[in-house]
Every structure is written in C-alpha cells, then in structure tokens.
A and B are shown apart, each in its own frame.
Chain A
Amino acid sequence: MPAQIGTKIGKGTPMSGVRVLVGTRKGAFILTSDGKRERWDISGPHFGGWEIYHLTGSPADPSRLYASQTSGWFGQLVQRSNDGGATWEPVGNQFQYDGVPGTHQWYDGTPHPWEFARVWHLEPSLTDPDTVYAGVEDAALFRSVNGGQTWQELPGLRTHRSGPSWQPGAGGMCLHTIVLDPHNPERIFVAISAAGVFRTDDGGKSWQPANRGLRSEGIPDPDAEVGHCVHRIAMHRSRPEVLFMQKHWDVMRSDDAGESWYEISGDLPTDFGFPIAVHAHEPDTVYVVPIKSDSEHYPPEGKLRVYRSRTGGNEWEPLTKGLPQSHCYVNVLRDAMAVDSLDSCGVYFGTTGGQVYASADAGDNWAPIARDLPPVLSVEVQMLP
C-alpha cells in the first residue's frame, strides 16, 4: 500500500506519534500528533508558493523525507530532508529520458515528443532510504540510488511496444502510482493515465501491461490491452497478489497480481473517483471517495462520504460522521488518502478545498485536522517510533 509508510512497525507496537505529510498547490505542510491523534500541530508552508505534488517519507528511515516541488515558472525541484522535515536541501532535478525518447500520441491523435513536465509521485524503497522511485509526466519511471542526487530512467517501461500509442489523460500523461511488492523486490506495479497498469518482475528492466478485465467505454476498444485511465491502485502488504483499483469509472480488484481484474463497484452511489486505500490490518477493508462524474468532480448530492467495504468490495457503507453532508463540492485527488498503522487504524484524506480530515477509528468518525490549506494534492502518513 504506497500511501502507508510505517512499514517497520507492526500492529500492537507502542507509538509516540504520527506525522501527516501534506502536499498542496502552494506548499507543503506537516501535521504531527501523538498516538491519540486528537491534537495536531501544523508546520508550514514549506516551499510556499510552489506546487508540492507529493511529499513522502522512507519506510526504512522516518527521518528521511522527499518532496516533489514544481512550478510552471521554474520547473522541477526535488527536496530531501534528513530530520523529518525540520530542514530541507534541494537534490537532483535532472530527469533526462534515456536515449532518443520518441513520441506518444497527443490529445488530437498526432505523434508528440516525450517531454518531461514534473514528478507526480515519489516512492521510496521499502528497505533503503537512499533508493527512491519517481513517476513523472510525460510518463516514465526514474530511480535514484543516492538519495535523490541523480536520477536514471528505467527505460523498459516507456519503450514498451505500446508506448507510441499512449495518450494523456485530462491531467497530462502522468505516471502517478508506484507500488512496490514487499515480498518480491523485483516486482513493481505502476499506473499511468491514460495507459493503464504495467508490471515488472525483473526489477524494472521489462514491463507488461496488466489491464485484462478492465473495460473503458471512452476508448475505441473498450477492453484494449492499454489505454485505460487508471486513477490509483493499492495493495495490502500482507497480500501483495491482491490489488485494488479506482479507475476513471469502476472500482476493480485483481487476485492474481494484475493478471486479471474484476469489478467490485457493487452498491456504490457512483464508481467514479480518484483515491483508493486499504486498512492497515484488514486486507479486505477498502476505502474510496465516490465522485459524481468525470465532468462533475465533486461528491454526489453535495455530501462528502468515504465509502468502506469490509468484504473486499461490492458491499460498501457510507462513512459520514464528521464530514460535511450538505453543499460540499470538493474533490479528493488520487494521492490524497492514506492510512496509519496504529492498533485502531487511522484514515486521512485531503480535499481540493484545503481540508485534511482524519479518522482515528478506521473511518467511523471524522474530524478536520486542517481546514484552510491550499488545494491538497497529496497526503501521506508516517508512524514515529
């Protein structure tokens, strides 16, 4: 589960605190609390005025943080902290495609050269604080093995035979999700809008599409091998062959590591949405935030509801206590939901309205822990020993 960072700390381990890392359109914010998760201190904005697409920490060293800092004016920066966000240093920001990058399809179907725009997502190694993956727009996967000082593309993904046919989604052709298999260091899943899911079993040298079973009405061949607008995938560390997906439309599940997918939207009021997350201790408890439609990016009926399935999909219950149930028209973006791994699993999400909501009881009750931030792009959680 990429949105959960406290991997070294298992259920039942005493905790001194929780740190919530929030990336926004105008800077980064760090929220900290003790294990009760009732009172929160907020620091920030860090990098005020810059878009922080993603802010995350190393599972192997909670003091090591990475941030993707971008600007339409000044381009891409990557910031690194070695002290949990108290101080930062800019590290390498050169993301150069391997070789001659060639073309993908543009919105109008014409060939368009691959051009680096920004880093959407940073995924630190589960075991090495200095190794971190970056998912970028135009879609490609980079890796640093020296704490972000230099970045090398893993070109086997972008040069997959289907690459020239990939097209951008409305938000750009971004590689936005990276899921590392905790049981198999050679296996990585990525998701690209709007190409779909790809999997490597050899550490990133070669990649295969993993989209069988997806059906997207908005593309010429609804069950094509690639071309699906996958919004997010999530995994529980204890069961890495099971994946959950929020697609543009449809909530999906795979029980065979992406070889095939089936729909689990069940009784959701709408199956459009962006984030999806898995409970830290219950591999079949899944969270989504239904959004009205692809042209109306806000909750149905103006009611902000997280939906929880305790059955691995199909049967969903609305979670509303503490969330606005009238006149609410915010969105929750794909990287803006995370869980902690305290005994009573905490769930967190941020909105485009600048609120960060938290539940310390697996979603039964919610409260805002920040109310008036810039639009939230990403939320991650760290457990502090």
Chain B
Amino acid sequence: MIRVVLPAHLRNLASVESEVKLHIEGQVTQRSVLDALETRYPMLRGTIRDHVTKQRRAFVRFFACEQDLSHEPPDTPLPEAVATGAEPFVVVGAMAGG
C-alpha cells in the first residue's frame, strides 16, 4: 500500500483529511503513483501535473525519505520504503510568497 501526503489545498479539493492510501500494481514510480492518485481523485487532474504532457507543475515538488525526487524521471522506481508503505510519497506546494 502506497501512502501519499497531499498539501492542504489539494486535501481540501479531494475531500481527504489525512494520508491517501493507494494500491499499485507493478513498479512504484512517480508516474504510477500519480496515475493511481488521479484515477481515485479525478479532481486532482491538472493540479499536480499537466493534463496532456504530464509534466510536474513548476511550484509542485515530490519528496520521500528526506530526498527531493522532483527532478527524477517519472518512470524511475521510487525508494523501497515508499513501495512498501514504510514512508510516504509527499506532494508539496513549493514555499513561496502568497
């Protein structure tokens, strides 16, 4: 079971209160996690990555296991601790004014 932590605005949008738990068949990557997340919560489409290009939005970051994985290719396997559910995959709104 994959654990995903969303920023507050996206938790509100998806009407979830805490971590999201996802079941993923096959390899656990950024792409497969986000695909599963958007399938479960279609209202998140377009808010984390582009609808068509699937590129990460500029002010969104992906953290896990105290690492910034934002610039990793989307099909790179995520750390084992994320794949086993020991650690969450964290979607972050980058710190900026506003």
Residues of A participating in the B interface, judged by any CB pair closer than 8 Å:
49-50, 71-77, 90, 93-94, 96
Contacts and interface: CB of A to CB of B under 8 A. Distances in A.
Nearest to B42: A90
Interface on chain B toward A: helix, strand, loop, or mixed SS? loop
A74 B9 contact: yes
Contact of A73 (B43, B45, B60): B60
B59 A94 contact: no
A90 B13 CA distance: 8
A75 B7 CA distance: 14
A90 B41 CA distance: 11
B47 interface: yes
Range of interface residues on chain B? 10 to 19
A73 B51 CA distance: 15
B13 A77 contact: yes
Contact of A50 (B9, B45, B57, B94): B9
Contact of A74 (B47, B51, B96): B47
A50 B10 CA distance: 11
A53 to B, nearest CB: 15
B2 interface: no
B60 A94 contact: no
Contact of A96 (B45, B48, B52, B60): B52
B13 A71 contact: no
B98 A74 contact: no
A203 B48 CA distance: 35
Contacts, number: 41
Nearest to B92: A73
Interface on chain A toward B: helix, strand, loop, or mixed SS? loop
A94 B45 CA distance: 9
Given A94-B51, A96-B51, A74 B10 contact: yes
Interface string B52-88: 1000010110000000000000000000000000000
Contacts of B94: 73
A74 B48 contact: yes
Given A74-B10, A75-B47, 19 more contacts: A50-B9, A72-B98, A73-B7, A73-B9, A73-B57, A73-B93, A73-B94, A74-B13, A74-B47, A74-B48, A74-B57, A74-B60, A74-B93, A75-B57, A77-B13, A90-B43, A93-B46, A94-B46, A96-B52
Interface in B1-56: 7, 9-10, 13, 43, 45-48, 51-52
A90 to B, nearest CB: 4
A134 to B, nearest CB: 14
A225 to B, nearest CB: 33
A93 B10 CA distance: 14
Contacts of A94: 45-46, 51
A73 B59 CA distance: 5
Contacts of B47: 74-75, 77, 93
B46 A75 contact: yes
17 contacts: A72-B59, A72-B96, A73-B59, A73-B93, A74-B9, A74-B10, A74-B13, A75-B57, A76-B46, A77-B46, A77-B47, A90-B13, A90-B43, A93-B46, A94-B45, A94-B46, A94-B51
B40 to A, nearest CB: 14
Contacts of A76: 46
